[in-house]
Structure formats: C-alpha cells, structure tokens
C-alpha cells in the first residue's frame, strides 16, 4: 500500500486557501475580551480575543492600528472586524483585524442620548440659564487631573495670555468609577468657598468610556447649580459631552478653554489705549468746534465794530432830544398867547379903564365910597383920577 502524504506546507497552504475562499471568514465581526495585548515596536498590535470558553489570536497591522480612536488594552471588551486566515509558517489561524471598536459603547451611546433628551427637556441646557464669563477673572479655577497634558496646556496658554494670571487647580479624577461624584463635589466646594471667578472643568480626549464621568447626571446637575460660570473642555474638537451642553461655555479643547477664560492682557491694554485715543480725539474735536464757533462770533460786527451800536443809539437819543425841544417850545408859545389873550380881556374889564372916560373914584380910609351917607363933615377923602389922585375934605355940615 502506497501512502500519499502531503507536506506540512502543502497542508497549511491548502487550509489557507480553504479559509480564504470562505466568504463568511473574509468579512467577519467578532466580539470578545482582549488579553495578552502586545503593542509591537513595529506598530503592529498582537492580542488574543477570548470569551468564557474560547480564544482566538488576532493581529492588527500598523496601517490599521494607527486609525484607532482609542487605546486597546487587556480586559477591554471590543468588537473586531476583519478576516480569518491561516498563518502558514506556524500553522495557526487568526483574525487579521482591520477595525476595532469598544463593545458596550452602543449602550453608552443610548444612555447618552437618553440623558441628553431628559436634561434638555428639564431645561438644563437653556441658554437663558447660561452665565456670562467674566472679562477679567481674578482667579481661574481648574478642575482636572493634577498630572498630564491638560493642566500643563491650560497653564501654558493662560500664562502666555496673562503673565500675571492666578490659577487654582483643584485636582479631580477624570475617569473611572467615582470620578463623576468627585467632580460634582469639587464643583460644589469651589462654589461654597468662592474659590474662583470662573471654573474650567476638563480632561483630554479618550474613549467614550474614559470621558464618561462628564456624561453623568450628577456632574450635569452640579454644573447647572454652580453660581460660578463654568467652561467645559472635554476631549478634542468633536467629542461632545453632557457637561458641554450644560456648561456656560464649551471649549473644544483645554487650551481653548484657557483662551476663553483668560483674557489676553496685551489686547486689553491695547483696547484701553484705543479708548484713550478715541476720547482724546473726541474732546479735541469738541474743543476745535468750540474754537470755530468762537472765531465766527469774533468775526461778527458786534466785535469787529463794537462802537457802531453805540453810535446808532446816540443818533437816536439826539433826535429824541430835538423832538422834545420843539415840543417844549410849542407849548411855551401856546401859553404866552393864552396869557396875552387873558390880560387883554382883563384890561377891558378894569375900573381904571372907566376913569379915562372922565369918571373918578372916591375912597375913604382906603375903601371905595359908594353912598353919600358914608361921608360926614370934615372927612378926608381921596379922589382917584385916571392919571393920579388928590386929597379933599368934606365941607358940608349936614
């Protein structure tokens, strides 16, 4: 009997061909837990995927591994997508992983959306509730891990913008169990003791699981209840957390948060300078305007020929006086005429006038004698003629 043996190589080659022909094995999604994880210096990832009963080897080449959004590690539950094939040299079959995501993340997404909807309905995201970030906070409070890039970035950016910045770091764990409770408590402490004028809470980017504390309700409510304005800075540009929605301001990165919290003092100084220049200019313009008005006034006739007005008045007064004089003279003349008329009339009525016609007047003791009975023997009388008087004596005795 002749045995038709194949070589090991032939067998493995045959098996590889059979694997590769299988459509199911060419594009397969497998879930399991990572163990034996090795990040090779070449950049390829080697690990095994296991569940309670079974395990399978996995390899993820550098070109795919580079695109991963998270850092895989032992114990992590993942879903891998790739093809199953045979490594001929070792006679093992393994998964050639093209992409990998964290498992259970679907649940987290759902939890995220549910909480988001709930809090939104409650009004925790309302813009009307959002507080203004002060223009120039005296103290910037930072809630983050005391180690790592986040606090370093914040300090760097802040000091660059304001060399005299005052930063108070209150360290908090930013991932793992209990982190959310700690963050919420520290927000309350900052508020109770008024330790800052503005608070930055943040952490670097990471898997949805890593940043999960910032999606917890307790943190959201602590942010909402905070009287101090809060800037959230979680992860990188695209990661949105519940904390971001509740916060008074959302910064895409911790560095950006520092820029929002700490004003650039050079810019502020410039702004003050600009204000100074502007009001100086405004006052200058005002004064210039007043000067022009003044000059216009000074050019007016009142100032260029100040006596003219006076001259005019003199002329007027003169003419008044003249008119007054004429009036006076007329009155005087009238009065004289009246006087002449009256004296003429008086003259004609005078008794002296009668004397000229040959009558005479007898007076005794300076009284006119009207009757013969007034006269007695030897009385002296005065006889008045028109041209003089003579004394006489009564000669008759009876």
Partner 1 sequence: MSKDNFEESMKKLEEIVTELENGNLNLDESVSKFEEGMKLAKQCNHILEDAEKKITILLENNGEIKEEKFDVEQ
Residue from 38, 285, 327, 353 touching partner 1 (CB under 8 A): that is 285
- Using CA atoms, how far apart are residues 275 and 265, in angstroms rounded to an integer? 15
CB of 276 to partner 1, least distance (A): 5
Q: Is 276 in the site for partner 1 (CB under 8 A)?
A: yes
Quick one: 163 or 388, whose CB is closer to partner 1?
163
Structure-token pair, residue 44: 């390829």
Quick one: 266 or 359, whose CB is closer to partner 1?
266
- Interface region with partner 1, contact rule CB under 8 A, candidates 45-53, 281-289, 297-305, 341-349: 281-289
What is the C-alpha end-to-end distance of the chain, expressed in Å?
Answer: 238
Place of tokens 């800052």: 196
Residue from 28, 260, 265, 394 touching partner 1 (CB under 8 A): that is 265
Q: Is 324 in the site for partner 1 (CB under 8 A)?
A: no
Quick one: 298 or 315, whose CB is closer to partner 1?
298
- Interface region with partner 1, contact rule CB under 8 A, candidates 112-120, 242-250, 287-295, 371-379: 287-295
Helix/strand/coil for 45: strand
The phi and psi torsions of 198 (rounded to 5 degrees) equal -150, 150
Quick one: 109 or 278, whose CB is closer to partner 1?
278
Residue from 14, 279, 314, 385 touching partner 1 (CB under 8 A): that is 279
The phi and psi torsions of 46 (rounded to 5 degrees) equal -120, 130
Sheet architecture: strand order including 140-144: 140-144, 198-203, 230-234, 249-250
Place of tokens 């898997």: 207
Quick one: 195 or 218, whose CB is closer to partner 1?
195
- Using CA atoms, how far apart are residues 189 and 183, in angstroms rounded to an integer? 10
| Burial of 248: CB neighbours in 10 Å, binned 0-12, 13-18, 19+ | buried
Q: Rounded to whole angstroms, what are the CA distances from 288 to 152, 276, 277, 291, 293?
A: 54, 18, 16, 5, 9
Quick one: 82 or 202, whose CB is closer to partner 1?
202
From the list 151, 192, 157, the residue with the least C-alpha distance to 171 is: 151
The answer to whether 223 and 187 have CB atoms below 8 angstroms apart is yes
Q: Rounded to whole angstroms, what are the CA distances from 270 to 265, 276, 279, 316?
A: 8, 10, 14, 66
- Interface region with partner 1, contact rule CB under 8 A, candidates 29-37, 72-80, 83-91, 279-287: 279-287
Structure-token pair, residue 12: 């493995």
Residues 39-58: x where in contact with partner 1 by CB under 8 A, - otherwise, as a string:
--------------------
CB of 164 to partner 1, least distance (A): 4
Q: Is 278 in the site for partner 1 (CB under 8 A)?
A: yes
Residue from 40, 71, 236, 269 touching partner 1 (CB under 8 A): that is 269
Quick one: 48 or 158, whose CB is closer to partner 1?
158
**β-strands 198-203, 140-144 pairing:** parallel
Quick one: 283 or 328, whose CB is closer to partner 1?
283
Place of tokens 């045979």: 86
Residue from 27, 73, 275, 333 touching partner 1 (CB under 8 A): that is 275
Q: Rounded to whole angstroms, what are the CA distances from 226 to 68, 125, 134, 231, 250?
A: 36, 13, 15, 11, 15
- Interacting residues with partner 1 between 182 and 221 (CB under 8 A): 189, 193, 195
From the list 294, 297, 276, 296, the residue with the least C-alpha distance to 286 is: 294
Quick one: 276 or 338, whose CB is closer to partner 1?
276
- Interacting residues with partner 1 between 132 and 171 (CB under 8 A): 134-136, 138, 146-147, 151-152, 155, 159, 162-171
Residues in the interface with partner 1 (CB under 8 A) total 40
CB of 292 to partner 1, least distance (A): 13
Structure-token pair, residue 335: 């009065």
CB of 222 to partner 1, least distance (A): 16
Which residues form the interface with partner 1 (CB under 8 A)? 134-136, 138, 146-147, 151-152, 155, 159, 162-171, 189, 193, 195, 265, 268-269, 271-272, 275-276, 278-280, 282-283, 285-287, 289-290
């Amino acid at each position: 009997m002749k045995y038709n043996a194949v070589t090991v190589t032939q067998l493995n080659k045959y098996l590889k061909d059979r694997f590769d022909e299988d459509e199911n094995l060419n594009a397969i999604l497998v879930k399991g837990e990572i163990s034996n994880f090795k990040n090779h210096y070449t950049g390829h990832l080697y690990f095994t995927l296991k569940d309670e009963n079974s395990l399978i080897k996995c390899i993820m080449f550098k070109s795919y591994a580079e695109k991963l959004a998270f850092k895989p590690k032992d114990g992590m539950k993942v879903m891998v997508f790739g093809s199953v094939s045979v490594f001929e040299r070792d006679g093992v079959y393994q998964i050639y992983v093209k992409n990998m995501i964290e498992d259970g993340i679907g649940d987290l997404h759902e939890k995220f959306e549910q909480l988001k909807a709930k809090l939104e309905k409650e009004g925790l995201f309302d813009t009307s509730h959002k507080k203004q970030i002060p223009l120039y906070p005296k103290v910037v409070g930072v809630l983050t891990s005391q180690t790592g890039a986040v606090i370093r970035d914040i300090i760097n950016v802040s000091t660059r913008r304001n060399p005299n910045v005052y930063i108070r770091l209150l360290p908090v764990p930013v991932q793992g169990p209990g982190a959310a409770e700690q963050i919420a408590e520290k927000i309350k402490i900052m508020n109770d003791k008024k330790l800052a004028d503005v608070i930055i809470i943040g952490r670097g980017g990471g898997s949805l699981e890593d940043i999960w504390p910032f999606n917890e309700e307790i943190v959201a409510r602590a942010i909402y209840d905070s009287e101090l304005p809060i800037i959230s800075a979680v992860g990188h540009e695209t990661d949105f957390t519940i904390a971001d929605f509740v916060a008074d301001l959302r910064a895409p990165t911790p560095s950006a948060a520092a820029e929002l919290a700490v004003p650039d003092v050079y810019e502020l100084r410039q702004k003050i300078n600009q204000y100074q220049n502007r009001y100086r200019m405004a006052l200058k313009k005002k004064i210039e305007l007043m000067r022009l008005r003044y000059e216009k006034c000074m050019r007016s006739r009142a100032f260029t020929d100040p006596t003219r007005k006076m001259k005019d008045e003199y002329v007027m007064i003169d003419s008044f006086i003249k008119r007054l004089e004429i009036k006076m003279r007329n009155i005087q003349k009238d009065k004289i005429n009246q006087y002449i008329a009256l004296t003429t009339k008086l003259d004609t009525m005078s008794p002296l006038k009668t004397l000229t016609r040959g009558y005479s007047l007898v007076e005794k003791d300076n009284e006119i004698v009207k009757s013969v009975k007034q006269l007695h023997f030897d009385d002296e009388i005065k006889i008045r003629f028109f041209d003089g008087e003579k004394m006489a004596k009564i000669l008759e005795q009876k």
